[in-house]
Amino acid sequence: MTEYLIRRTLQSVLILLLITVVTFILIHAAPGGPKQIYLSPNLSQAAAKVQEHNLGLDRPLPVQYVNWIGDLLRGDLGYTFKNHIPVGEIIWPTVGHTLVLMGAAWLLTLLIALPWGIYNSTSEYGLSDQTASFIAYIGFAMPTFWFGIILQELFALKWNLLPLSDMWTMGKEGQIGDLLLHLMLPVTVLTIGFLASYVKYARSSMLEVLDQDYIRTARAKGLGEGRVVFRHALRNALIPIITVLGLDLPVLVAGAALTENVFNWPGMGRLFVQMAVAREYSVLMAITLLTAVFVIVGNFVADLLYALVDPRVKLSRKGGAAA
């Protein structure tokens, strides 16, 4: 186990390091390079030289890279180009907002999807099962942002039931009730998007387990169906779902980004798009790295949990490719 832990940690760190290299190269591959990005075109040639030197852009690339990594490790994410605000100051509040939105959607999805999937596995091809596959097909083909717009038109504009967008009503910042009202529509959009696949995972994972010999044994020795499903099958069926949860993190983050833009939710995804339009590269790089860390930690934890709960997992497996 310790060996696995060490190997997996090293692997995560390596990938993270590679991601920093890729982002660094991307910025330096931009037309005109970082000089174009960090230096104002209005500067005189002499001033530009000074500025270039101050920012360290005249040093060789490897040195610049090492300096950048050093800054990152010290928690210094750089400054915005326009107003020279520390990037961290802009990013950290939005991270919290995104986590609120994502967390709510994720929790709701699990609360609905797990029982639904389990139920569907016990009544294959029933009405509820078919409804789930119908939602799956629609959910996979529907642009989430379109669904968001339609919900806005119906619930906010036509029936005037829920707030149209944003996180708080003006003057009501910090009130939980107001936040919950604002969460309703975006969480619905995200949940519909995730729901289908989780119901499907829960169902197929349960079906696989229900097919096993030890379930037949349990039934044969006269256990009630409820006990068989919940005590014997469910525990093992949950194992693959854990992995899926970890692997789905990037999808969750990206899905939240679109939804945030539709509902003007002040999260990381909306900030990312705004900064992309404004070409604030330091913020873009910081958010990219942050989401990458998030995803890698998520996968790491999922793998670890998997190895913990399932003794059959070969701990010496080569490479990071999960199954």
Q: Which residues bind other proteins (CB under 8 A)?
A: 14-16, 18-19, 22-23, 26-27, 29-31, 125, 129-130, 133, 136-138, 140-143, 145-147, 149-150, 152-153, 157-158, 197, 200, 203-204, 250-251, 253-254, 257-258, 261-262, 272-273, 275-277, 279, 281, 284, 287-288, 291-292, 295-296, 299, 319-321
Q: Which is nearer to other proteins, 31 or 171 (CB)?
A: 31
Closest to 196 in 3D by CA, of 99, 120, 122, 263: 120
Smaller CB separation from other proteins, 51 or 133: 133
Is 133 or 219 the residue whose CB approaches other proteins more closely? Answer: 133
Please tell me what DSSP assigns to residue 138: H
**Shortest reach from residue 282's CB to other proteins, in Å:** 12
Closest approach of Cβ 145 to other proteins, in Å?
A: 5
Nearer to other proteins, 218 or 295 (CB): 295
Using the Cα atoms of residue 94, residue 95, residue 99 and residue 105 in order, give the sign of their dihedral: positive
User: Helices 249-262 and 87-122: crossing angle, nearest 10°?
Assistant: 110
Are residues 179 and 167 in contact, defined by beta-carbon separation less than 8 angstroms? yes
Smallest distance from other proteins to CB 173, Å: 25
Smallest distance from other proteins to CB 186, Å: 14
| Least CB distance to other proteins at residue 91 (A) | 13
Q: Smaller CB distance to other proteins: residue 105 or 218? A: 105
**Ramachandran region of residue 319, left (φ > 0), alpha (ψ -120 to 50) or beta?**
left
In angstroms, how far is CA 12 from the centroid of its own chain? 17
Length of the chain counted residue by residue: 323
User: Which residues have C-beta within 8 Å of that of residue 302, sequence separation ≥ 6?
Assistant: 242, 243, 245, 246, 247
